[in-house]
Structure 1
Amino acid sequence: MLLEMRKIAVNYGKINAIRDISIAVPEGKIVTIIGGNGAGKTTTLRAMSGMIPIVAGEILFEGTRIDHLPAHKVVAHGIAHVPEGRRIFKDMTVEENLRTGAFLRRDKPEIERDLEQVYDRFPRLRERRVQRAQTMSGGEQQMLAIGRALMSKPRLLLMDEPSMGLAPVIVEEIARIIEEINAQGLSVVLVEQNAELALELAHHAYVLETGNTAMEGPAHELRGNEHVRAAYLGL
């Protein structure tokens, strides 16, 4: 198993944000986490990437515990996080943003090669490489956030609401990109408010409700589950 969360709990002050959550991410697969607002989806991703501390449980990456590590050391282990809201550096150019993704790397020739691969994957970023990030559209900024994460050369990509606020045609493009990078061997954990899209893309799914795991299983099976269809797919 590439990543395992075992009985994780996270608190915000005296409030239990998530409790007793266990998630497994097989190598080469897309795992999605769906649920309503406040269910704990973003908190779970932040715990995976070391952005917030856990108060119980353990997180293992390739069999090694990482839950005690700061976020930059989690990145060094091979986990990259595309946060909700993109969080790009708006005053920096596209290329400057991309290069920040490789800040822990020292393999300069490989960095240049990977930069060209990002530009090949996202031609619009190549066209705008010297443009300030804040002047780009929402879809372009999302592509930039994904490209920046890929520059860290991750084994596991965490994506938080990549379709949020985007036009349907751009959502389709982002979905295609997720499928492509997964087909090339990159594992993905996807948090999505658009549950239909998430369940279409994923191999396995977890449903969170009020900080707990309500159900889990193969994504295609959960798509047919009556509770999931009624609560999250609007059917």
Structure 2
Amino acid sequence: MLLEMKDISVNYGKVSAVRNISISVPDGKIVTIIGGNGAGKTTTLRAMSGMVPLAGGEIHFNGKRIDGLLSDKVVAHGIAHVPEGRRIFPDMTVEENLRTGAFLRRDKEAVENDLEGVFTRFPRLKERRRQMAKTMSGGEQQMLAIGRALMSAPKLLLMDEPSMGLAPVIVEEIAVIIEEINAQGLSVVLVEQNAELALELADHAYVLETGNMALEGPANELHDNEHVRAAYLGV
């Protein structure tokens, strides 16, 4: 198992955000976490990437315990996070944004090869490599955020609401990108309000409700689950 969260809990002050949840991510698979607003999805991803401390439980990645590590150390282990809202650096160029993703790497030749790989995957970024990031469209900024994460050469990519605020045609494009990245061997954890999209892309799914684990199982089975269909698919 590439990543295992065992009975983790996260608090914000006196508020319990997630309670005793366990999530496993097999190597080479797409795992999705769905749920309503305030369910604890983003908090769970932030715990995976070391951005929030645990109140309880353990996180193991690639056979090593990583809870308690600072986020840069988590990145060094091979976890990259594409945050909600993209969080690109608006006053830096596209290329400068991408190079920040490789800030921990010392293999300069490999970094240059990976930069060209990102430009091959996202031709629009190559066309705009000298352009200020803030002048790009929402879809282009999402591609930039994904490309920046890929520049860290991760083994696991965490994606928080990649379809948020994007036109349907761009959402379809992002979905294809996720499938292509995964097909090349990169594991993905996808948090997504668009449950239909998430369950179509994922191999395995977890449903969070108010910080608790409500359901889990193969994504195709949860897609047909009556509770999931009523609560998240609008059926």
Pair in the same fold by TM > 0.5: yes
Report the alpha carbon displacement of residue 36 of structure 1 after superposing the two structures with TM.
Answer: 0.2
Q: 1:58-207 counterparts in 2 under 5 A?
A: 58-207=58-207
Q: Distance in 1 between matches of 2:64 and 2:93?
A: 36
The CA distance in 2 between the partners of 1:209 and 1:133, in whole Å, is 35
Distance 1:97 1:140 in 2: 13
Quote the residue 1:234 is aligned against: 234
How big is each residue's C-alpha offset from its partner over 1:120-158, in whole Å with a ceiling of 9 and x where there is no partner?
Answer: 000000000000000000000000000000000000000
| RMSD over equivalenced CA pairs, Å | 0.3
Q: Identity, % of aligned pairs?
A: 82
User: Residue 18 of structure 2 aligns with which residue?
Assistant: 18
In structure 1, the gaps of 5 or more residues are none
SS in 1 for 2:21: strand
Superposed displacement of residue 63, structure 1 = 1.6
TM-score norm. by structure 1 comes to 1.00
SS in structure 2 at match of 1:216: strand
Which whole-Å deviations, capped at 9, do the CAs of 1:78-125 have from their partners, x for residues lacking one? Answer: 000000000000000000000000000000000000000000000000
**How far, CA to CA, are the matches of 1:195 and 1:21 in structure 2?**
20
Give distance in 2, aligned partners of 1:92 and 1:171: 25
CA distance in 1, matches of 2:213, 2:155: 25
1:62 is displaced (CA, Å) by 1.1
Task: Give the gaps of 5 or more residues in structure 2.
Answer: none
- Structure 2 length-normalised TM: 1.00
Q: What is the CA deviation profile of residues 173-214 of structure 1, one whole-angstrom value per residue up to 9, with x for unaligned ones?
A: 000000000000000000000000000000000000000100
Once the 2 structures are TM-superposed, how far is the Cα of residue 225 of structure 1 from its aligned partner? 0.2
Which whole-Å CA distance do the structure 1 matches of 2:52 and 2:144 have between them? 24
Q: Hey, what does 1:52 align to over in structure 2?
A: 52
- SS across alignment from 1:84: coil
Task: State how 1:219-230 maps to structure 2 within 5 Å.
Answer: 219-230=219-230
Distance 2:121 2:102 in 1: 17
Matched position secondary structure for 1:171: helix
